Amino acid sequence: MPSAPSKSQLLDPEFLAKLEQLELMSRRIFVGRMKGERKSKRKGTSVEFADHRNYTAGDDLRHLDWNVFGRLDKLFLKLFLEEEDLHVSILLDTSLSMDFGDPTKLQYGKQVAAALAYVGLVNHDRVRIDALGSGLSEGLSGLRGRSQMWRVVQYLDGLQATGGSDLAAAAKSFAIRHTGKGVVILISDFLDKNGYESALRYLLARQLDIYVIHVLSQEETNPELQGDLRLVDVEDGQVTEISISPALLKRYKEHLDQFVGGLRDWCTRRGIVSIFTTNRNPFDKLILDYLRQRGLVR
Amino acid sequence: MLMPSMIWAQSLQFESPIRPEAWAVLALVPLGILLLYFLKLRRRAVQVPSTLLWRKSLEDLQVNSPFQRLRRNLLLLLQLLAVGLVMLALLGPKTQGLGRQGKRLVLAIDESASMAATDVEPSRIEQALRKARTVIEEMKAEDLAMIIAFSNSARVVTNYTQDRDLLLDRLRSIKPTDHSTSLREALQLVAGLANPQKYLEPGEGAVAAAFVPPKLFIFTDGGFADVEGFSLGTIEPEVIPIGPPIEWSPQQGLPVAAANLGAESTQEPASGPASTVFSGPASDNLALLSLSTAREENRPDQLQVFGRVRNHRGEPVSSRVILYRHDPAMPGEPGNLIDAVALEIPARSDQAFQFELKADAPSGEFFVRLEEPDAMPLDNQAFVVATVPRRTRVLVVSSGNRFLTDTLTTPSSVQIAELTSIRPEQLDLPEQQRALQDGSYDLVIFEGVSPKVQPESSCLYLGALPPDLPADQGREVASPVIIDWDLSHPILQYVRDLGTVAVQKGFILEPPAGARQLIESDQGVLGYARSRGSYLDVVLGFTLLDGQKFNTNWPLKSGFPLFVYNCLKVLGNALDAGSSDRDLFSTDQPVTLRIETPADQIEVLGPDGRLVETCRRTSQGTFIVSQARKTGIYRARWGTGTDESTGFAVNLFNERESNLAPRGQVPPGLTDSQADAFRIKIGSTPVQSMRVDAPVTREWWWYLALAALGIVLFEWWVYNRRLSA
């Protein structure tokens, strides 16, 4: 059930030790894959030649191809493929529904977000963290280098579960503001009554590499409810009266499976990597084994 | 045209067994259930991250079964429905309509004296009631049953009813009586009640009365003659024999003679031929079958008590008969032992006994008891009352008629009558007038003279007219020839020679209304008899003497003394007064008492000294006691003095009733024709009955209650299923 996220939980030595471990692991993983390894489609300032074009006034004279000028007596400019930084955007769902479970899904999501941010930072990627609620709330952006990690932790610690979830609105606003390309990691429980499809479509439209981490709590995957209950939706206050019966529980689990499997299938079909986890799954294990398997971390 | 459902609704009636206050309480039950339900509806609120999946699951379940929405409230609905049905059942709905007609059962239960026999455990009547109870308990809800108890008469214990409790309750009220058995009475009652010859034709607005042939169960131990010449109509009889199983071997022959033995004349001794014929199986009973008193002709103060004992057992019995003198002051006690005689009674035959009483006992109440115990105690005792004989007091008013006075003083007449003669001129003397008016005489004979006032006694008028008739009524004729006379009238009993009687002068009479002609001549009526209150007057239209000459030759004929003797007996009640054991009655018949008392009302005390009945004098001057239905010595009392009461004895004395051999049971191993001899036969002519659908009152509460139970069970199932599904 909801529990207030505490600073210590994110910064406890155990967590930090795990992050250290992750750093070592990630170093090994990212050997030879430092900056410039990732080719950009943009033409830029890398060493790899791409094309020539006519010189126009104002171009950097350093890029003139003097050899061509010698032979043809014309000014051509050498174009190179630009090597760009990897933009890693982490979108963490902070709606009220995330504030459930022990640890809460939000807490779990923070740990995962912190870990992924850490991996990104040590790899000198540009890391951006935003919180998703009923809309997008801008978080940190343009982080690079492990020295920025304290900011990440500070920011994540400061996040509180609030408001309903409107994934579509949040994704739309992210897509509008974030024009660059890169990797988007969406951490959410996807319990949005309006569905998750339109939200993912907004992201897909940006041609982003999308990773979805679907977090549910143990209480949701295996509810231990009994008797006649009035269920109150924590986000919109909607009331549903149920009488727990084996038949209902069976149906619930079937729907849960459909929900989780539906998300996974939907994503797979569109080239989105989807990972399902519960809050009881250790986040480092998720990061190291699971993400590697899924290609999020190489 | 009404729809059938409307007809059904119109015929629906309600008859609630519970009172309105109880209804008010009952009406709270559904409210209570609703209240409990709403209390239960206050569900525990639980916050969840999202109701998304739950909603989907619920929708899914609801889509799966169209009654899911209902199912949420199913238990409530079922509870309300069950309570509703119970309440509806308590309203007692019933409909009148056509439908299946229940059976009609008539249970005729023998309550005669023999049913008290203890030769089966605990007694025959208990056995009969037990069997009747099983019949009642097997009744279906639509069946109707009627209970009839019969002995020498039959009575309805309950009319047709479906109420089994009532039937069982009334059944308990049946106790053995001291009466004989007459199945015919029972059958007549059943035929009258259960076999209506007329029923309403179905007409407009009227519902046809139903006729369902009833089934008659007769629980009896026999003790009656076969009922011949009786049509049971559509009744289906079934005899359920009561009593111990009969022991019979083919060597004994068939009980042909027994079937009709003593059928109608129970007083007839069963000696003689009965011993040569098999008279049915033996039974454990000794019975006193008669008891009477008599006086010796020459010693009228000597009283004899004699009677007869029948041994129904298969072996000889030695026993004693004990005579007690009953003390009227101590009702219910046997009295003082006077005498006893030892008896050796051969198997299945009779033995007479006699007690000689001393001269100091000319009258009294006697009780005789048979010492040997047997299965039927009732007939081991008998009662008799002997009274002092009293002669008829006769007054003759005549100018001297030797023939008349001589005839009244013959020895046989003197035994029963006491004669006083006066001349016509003495009639006006005050003491004579008084004597005539206070009932001092039983019979007054007027020859050729009429009194001024009718005396308080029966009268014989010879050549005179009663004073209340006009004097010119008689028309004098000469030499009327007697052509006809009424031999059946007791006054002319045995008087056969009136045809040879010649009359010189006579009066032709005009009989008043209600009079009965006795003698008719060629010129008109010469004699008639008429009732006057409790008295009887006989008027003859001729005198015996005309002056000193004969007016008729009748006194010389043999019929004349017979006529005078008849007059003493009939007009003077001589027979009743002279018989020593006149007060000997049967439990089967109402007791007719002729008591010499001016009182108009008597009180009858039973054998136990309690008041049984108060009787008024009938127009015949008698008292009829209908409630002397137990054996014993009764007292009729009209004052408080010792001489203002008289005793009379009531006995059973029924040979057939005392013969406890069960009838109606067929021993095994007989052919059908042989078995007929053991069966109880009821002559019957089958009558085709008209069967119609009949209106039946159908009680619906039973079905409603059953439905309520079913719903409760269904609810239990639903509840369990919800828990386990």
pLDDT digit string, tens, across residues B420-476:
889 888 888 888 888 888 778 889 999 888 888 888 888 999 988 888 877 677 788
pLDDT at B720 over 90: no
Whether A64 and chain B come into contact, CB under 8 Å, resolves to no
Whether B721 and chain A come into contact, CB under 8 Å, resolves to no
Using the beta-carbon criterion (under 8 Å), do A231 and B44 form an inter-chain contact?
Answer: no
Nearest by Cα to A210 from A233, A185, A228: A185
Using the beta-carbon criterion (under 8 Å), do B48 and A235 form an inter-chain contact?
Answer: no
Give the dihedral sign, CA B707/B711/B716/B722. Answer: positive
Dist. CA B355–CA B307, nearest whole Å:
9
Using the beta-carbon criterion (under 8 Å), do B53 and A220 form an inter-chain contact?
Answer: yes
Q: What is the pLDDT of residue B151?
A: 86
What residues are paired with B549 via a beta bridge?
B546
Chain B residue with the nearest C-alpha to that of A191: B50
Interface with B, mutate which of A105, A220, A233 (most B CBs under 10 A): A233
The more confident residue out of A291 and B244 is B244
Percent of residues, chain B, with pLDDT higher than 70: 78
Give the dihedral sign, CA B572/B577/B578/B582. Answer: positive
Q: What is the pLDDT of residue B677?
A: 65
Interface with A, mutate which of B38, B41, B42, B52 (most A CBs under 10 A): B52
Residue with tokens 């539906």: A262
With beta carbons less than 8 A apart as the criterion, state whether B402 and B548 touch.
no
pLDDT digits (tens, 9 = 90+) for A240-274: 888 788 888 888 999 999 999 999 999 988 888 88
Percent of residues, chain B, with pLDDT higher than 90: 5
Using the beta-carbon criterion (under 8 Å), do B46 and A230 form an inter-chain contact?
Answer: yes
Query: Which among A227, A240, A256 is the nearest to B55, CB-wise?
Result: A240
Min distance A41 CA to chain B CA atoms (Å):
42
Q: What is the pLDDT of residue A223?
A: 87
Task: Report helix, strand or coil for A35.
Answer: coil
Dist. CA B636–CA B566, nearest whole Å:
29
Tokens representing residue B454 in the block: 């009718």
With beta carbons less than 8 A apart as the criterion, state whether B36 and B89 touch.
no
Is the ipTM reported for this complex over the cut 0.85?
no
Dist. CA B376–CA B380, nearest whole Å:
7
Dist. CA B554–CA B537, nearest whole Å:
20
Mark out the alpha helices in B430-513 (DSSP H runs).
430-437
pLDDT at B342 over 80: yes
Using the beta-carbon criterion (under 8 Å), do B58 and A248 form an inter-chain contact?
Answer: yes
The mean pLDDT value of chain B amounts to 78
pLDDT at B701 over 60: yes
The more confident residue out of B331 and B540 is B540
Q: What is the pLDDT of residue A247?
A: 80
Alpha carbons within 13 A on the beta-carbon side of A142: 0
Query: Which among A97, A225, A248 is the nearest to B50, CB-wise?
Result: A97
pLDDT at B331 over 50: yes
pLDDT digits (tens, 9 = 90+) for B11-47: 677 777 777 888 888 888 888 888 887 776 667 888 8
Q: What is the pLDDT of residue B208?
A: 39
Query: Which among A1, A229, A251 is the nearest to B60, CB-wise?
Result: A251
Per-residue confidence band for B722, with pLDDT thresholds at 50, 70 and 90: low
pLDDT at B132 over 80: yes
pLDDT at B185 over 90: no
pLDDT at B510 over 50: yes
Min distance A224 CA to chain B CA atoms (Å):
12
pLDDT digits (tens, 9 = 90+) for B551-574: 899 988 888 989 988 888 888 776
Whether B67 and chain A come into contact, CB under 8 Å, resolves to no
Whether B329 and chain A come into contact, CB under 8 Å, resolves to no
Whether A240 and chain B come into contact, CB under 8 Å, resolves to yes
Length of chain A: 298
Chain A residue with the nearest C-alpha to that of B719: A245
Contacts of A212 (CB under 8 A, 6+ apart): A185, A186, A188, A190, A200, A263, A267, A272, A273, A274, A275
Chain A CB contacts of B48 below 8 Å? 100, 231-234
Residue with tokens 């009466």: B179
State in Å, rounded, how far the first CA of chain B is from the last one.
52
Per-residue confidence band for B297, with pLDDT thresholds at 50, 70 and 90: low
Mean pLDDT of B595-615: 84
Q: What is the pLDDT of residue B528?
A: 92
Beta strands at B611-616 and A126-132: parallel, antiparallel or unpaired:
unpaired
Domains and CATH numbers, chain B: 4-41+50-98+701-724 (no CATH), 102-246+680-692 (3.40.50.410), 392-576 (3.40.50.880), 577-651 (2.60.40.10)
Whether B471 and chain A come into contact, CB under 8 Å, resolves to no
Q: What is the pLDDT of residue B579?
A: 47
Chain B CB contacts of A238 below 8 Å? 51
Chain A CB contacts of B60 below 8 Å? 251, 254-255
CB neighbourhood size of A158 (10 A): 11
Whether A98 and chain B come into contact, CB under 8 Å, resolves to yes
Per-residue confidence band for B651, with pLDDT thresholds at 50, 70 and 90: confident
pLDDT digits (tens, 9 = 90+) for B300-324: 667 788 888 988 888 888 889 999 8
Using the beta-carbon criterion (under 8 Å), do A229 and B43 form an inter-chain contact?
Answer: yes
Domains and CATH numbers, chain A: 21-32+85-294 (3.40.50.410), 39-83 (no CATH)
Interface size between A and B, measured as CB pairs under 8 A? 94
Whether A263 and chain B come into contact, CB under 8 Å, resolves to no
Dist. CA B401–CA B560, nearest whole Å:
14
Length of chain B: 725
Task: Report helix, strand or coil for A267.
Answer: helix
Whether B54 and chain A come into contact, CB under 8 Å, resolves to yes
Query: Which among A97, A220, A245 is the nearest to B725, CB-wise?
Result: A245
Alpha carbons within 13 A on the beta-carbon side of A263: 26
Whether A245 and chain B come into contact, CB under 8 Å, resolves to yes
With beta carbons less than 8 A apart as the criterion, state whether A222 and A102 touch.
no
